Amino acid sequence: MTETTPSPLYALLNQINAAANGGLHLVAIGMASALPTICASLASQDGRAGGKEYKAWCAANLTGTAFSFVTPDDLYSIRCGVLHQGRFGNLQHNVARVVFTPPGGASFTNCQFNDAYIYGVVEFCKNMCDAAYVWYEANKVDPIIEANSKRMMQYYPEGLAPYIVGMPVIA
């Protein structure tokens, strides 16, 4: 990727934050929780990542105070539950319950109350996106990441020949 070609990851991060701020909270949480898999996949030789890679990415990139009350195992459980069952997973690690708060009330960032992990939707998505952005900026010149980034879903404003031309597509 060249400096003049923005990464398709940036569009995804922008849309996750827009969804979180625009009332599409369930979609935003789902996509934000998938970011470690997406980033780990970008760094993978075969362009794939599983639970082991997800957790390793979380351990390396979700450090500090933004995610201190959950483990990579918790986050992976949240991701799997949200994306595959429409729930917050089988939280059997550091927390037993996840509570997200939509904007408009009290704001929470990385809070734990008894066995519950509490986070504002907007704050969770922003912090996940920020971590993915920082990671990508530090690693975007890696040849594997460059190659895999080209394979991400992205907008083609003039279409994608020979399939559809003359109109925008996502491919």
pLDDT tens digits, one per residue of 27-81: 999 999 999 999 999 999 999 999 999 999 999 999 888 999 888 988 998 999 8
pLDDT above 90 covers what percent of the chain? 70
Tens digit of pLDDT for each residue in 81-96?
A: 899 888 776 666 667 7
**Is the omega angle on the peptide bond into residue 36 within 30 degrees of 0, that is, cis?**
no
Task: Report yes or no on 42 lying in a domain.
Answer: yes
> Taking the model in full, what pTM does it have?
0.91
C-beta neighbour count of 84 within 10 angstroms: 9
H/E element holding 98? strand 97-101
**CA-CA distance, 125 to 55, in Å (whole number)?**
18
Number of structural domains found in the chain: 1
When pLDDT is averaged across residues 14-21 and rounded to a whole number, the result is 97
What is residue 9's predicted lDDT score, i.e. its pLDDT?
Answer: 96
Report if residue 1 sits inside a domain.
Answer: no
pLDDT(4) > 70: no
Q: Does 67 reside within a domain?
A: yes
**Per the domain annotation, does 3 fall within a domain?**
no
Q: Are 76 and 62 in contact (CB under 8 A)?
A: no
Query: Does the residue 2 lie in any domain?
Result: no
Report residue 130's pLDDT band, with 50, 70 and 90 as the boundaries: very high
Which residues are CB-contacts of 3 (< 8 A; sequence separation ≥ 6)? Answer: none
| Domain presence at residue 93 | yes
Which residue range is the domain that position 22 belongs to? 8-170
Angle between helices 72-85 and 51-61 (to 10 degrees): 130
Tokens 């994306």 map to which residue? Answer: 83
Confidence of residue 115 (pLDDT cuts 50, 70, 90): confident
Q: CA–CA separation, 10 vs 54, rounded Å?
A: 19
